[in-house]
Structure 1
Amino acid sequence: MEVRVLGCSGGIGGLDVRTTSLAIDDDILIDCGTGAGVLDVPALVAIDHVFLTHAHLDHIAYLPFIIDTVGDYRDRPLTVHAAPETLRIIRSHIFNWLIWPDFSAIPDRAHPLMRFNELRVGESIDIGGRRITALPALHAVPAVGYQIRSERGASLVFSGDTTLCEPQIAAINAIDELRVLIVETAFPNMQHDLALAARHLCPQMLFSLLDRLIVSPDVFITHLKPAQAAEITEEIATYAGRLRPQILKNDKVFRL
């Protein structure tokens, strides 16, 4: 199993700065931010499943464009998996015939181009030997993280957007063969209060999370706000704990 980073920034800016999307092999996306725009049309047509962590625009922005682009090429619907609250939000505010057509009813509800599947915390879906499990997260809107487990038993965890979340930390610590942890850190320490209000992490909160871990994955940091990326990177470099977090980069590939 391969996990490729299509986008991992907290903002946009040319080809190098694009928002969150991870590709699992050639048929699954985790989130659908502007990073998904690097895929050409044949690659987009091959996507059968999209798992959303939450409904914020930087994580769903390209989903409407993808389904509009690929629908007529496909012989089965694209399945969008997310927590019930997230699906309610995107159906009410995106696929509502005002912002974008409701592709779950096109050409008709019996033969849609897109379908929605509710996935609650703790629930898993097996797709071709890969298991995707929704993990707890704590954000400004209902949110989840994901554990992605390969057929060989190795796992990658993506925190999604979250502040310190004790249930998520407990879930991470319970995973055998956790090889990779991708965790957000959106703000520098000087914006600690904003991080708390927005339910994101800053480096000192990240350090608290890492200190609670008993597992030993490779740790990669995502979702840095572009204007503060250098400052956040410098602060993360001061961590003196057991794990050694690295800044995630576009096009990084994890093989599990």
Structure 2
Amino acid sequence: MQVRVLGCSGAIAKDCRTTSFLVDTDLLVDAGTGVGDLTLEEMAGVDDMVLTHCHLDHIAALPLMLDAVGGRRTRPLRVHALRATIEALRAHVFNNIIWPDFESIPSPEAPFVTFHDIAVGQTLLLGSATPKRIEVLPAVHTVPACGFAVSRADGGAHWVFSGDTERNAPFWDRVNALEVAMLVIETAFSNREQALAERSLHLSPTMLADELAHIEPGKDYPIYITHTKPAETEEITSQIETLAGRQVSGLAQRDIRWLKADGILTF
């Protein structure tokens, strides 16, 4: 399996696209502005989308994608999300004011999109090109949110994505029970902005170290940092490297890497 990083920034700027990952060719994880780098054929080839939550940087490209390729598809795009996320999309995006209601276009019997409820702890089997198992993981954010663990349908190691989250002990309880190939975890703000990180339920480098300390001894896998604010990316990177160099618990001896748009992760 492979994950193509379409966007991994916490906001937009030149060469910075917001969160979205293409797993193989048929599954999108979140629909940030990075989706715009896909060709029409690539977008039309996506059968399923899973969303971590309803914030704009994670859903901005969904309505535009449906407009671009809805008519090219032979069946609706299936969007899987928490009930609260679906309700927010219906009320605030697909409401015939901000954007057309593509649940009923071109007809209620054959719409461009269908929405499907998920819940934390649930496991989904999705994908036609390469069947995938997606487990819905807990997240702690300002709106109902989740993360995901993705593996082949027949088993194997997982690509784990934290989604937007702050301190989250239940997440680690579950992750420690999985075979993990790699972890993608957010660190949105620098330590200088730690108060803002705590108020907005995001992580800073110091909080990241505290969270990674939950990884059980003997578990060793690459950890990719995502969702950094473009204005603070260099500062966040430097602070994480400094903490790791000081052998701070959680970061000591960890294989810390940084995501880049259009990167490919294989597992």
- Taking structure 2 as the reference length, the TM-score comes to 0.93
Counterpart of 2:230, as a letter, is P
Q: Does 2:175 correspond to 1:172?
A: yes
Cα deviation code 1:138-192 (max 9, x no counterpart):
011110000011245111100000001111111111112x010000000001111
Partner of 1:155: 158
Equivalent of 1:227 in 215, 226, 231: 231
* Distance in structure 2 (CA, Å) of the matches to 1:98 and 1:127: 31
Deviation at 1:44, TM superposition (A): 0.7
Aligned-partner SS, 2:103: helix
Counterpart of 2:256, as a letter, is P
* Distance in structure 2 (CA, Å) of the matches to 1:123 and 1:59: 21
Counterpart of 1:191, as a letter, is E
Query: Aligned Cα RMSD in Å?
Result: 1.0
* Distance in structure 2 (CA, Å) of the matches to 1:251 and 1:236: 23
* Distance in structure 1 (CA, Å) of the matches to 2:235 and 2:149: 29
Mapping for residues 73-152 of structure 1, pairs under 5 Å: 73-128=72-127, 129-150=131-152, 151-152=154-155
* Distance in structure 1 (CA, Å) of the matches to 2:111 and 2:98: 18
Aligned-partner SS, 2:220: coil
CA contact (8 A) 2:221 2:255 kept: no
* Distance in structure 1 (CA, Å) of the matches to 2:196 and 2:155: 40
Cα deviation code 1:94-124 (max 9, x no counterpart):
0111101111111222221100000100111
Deviation at 1:242, TM superposition (A): 3.2
Q: Does 2:63 correspond to 1:64?
A: yes
CA contact (8 A) 2:76 2:113 kept: yes
Instruction: Give the stretch that moved more between structures: 67-76 or 106-115.
Output: 106-115
* Distance in structure 1 (CA, Å) of the matches to 2:135 and 2:66: 24
Aligned-partner SS, 2:215: coil
Q: Does 2:259 correspond to 1:248?
A: yes
Deviation at 1:247, TM superposition (A): 1.4
Residue segments in structure 1 that go unaligned for 5+ positions in a row: none
Aligned-partner SS, 2:166: coil
Cα deviation code 1:49-70 (max 9, x no counterpart):
1111000000000000001111
Partner of 2:222: 218
- Taking structure 1 as the reference length, the TM-score comes to 0.97
Deviation at 1:26, TM superposition (A): 0.8
Aligned-partner SS, 1:12: coil
Structure 1 consecutive aligned stretches of length 4 or more whose deviation exceeds 4 Å:
none
Partner of 2:194: 192
Counterpart of 2:169, as a letter, is E
* Distance in structure 2 (CA, Å) of the matches to 1:53 and 1:152: 22
Count of matched residue pairs: 254
CA contact (8 A) 2:2 2:24 kept: yes
Aligned-partner SS, 2:57: helix
* Distance in structure 2 (CA, Å) of the matches to 1:35 and 1:93: 21
Aligned-partner SS, 2:114: strand
Deviation at 1:244, TM superposition (A): 2.6
* Distance in structure 2 (CA, Å) of the matches to 1:82 and 1:127: 13
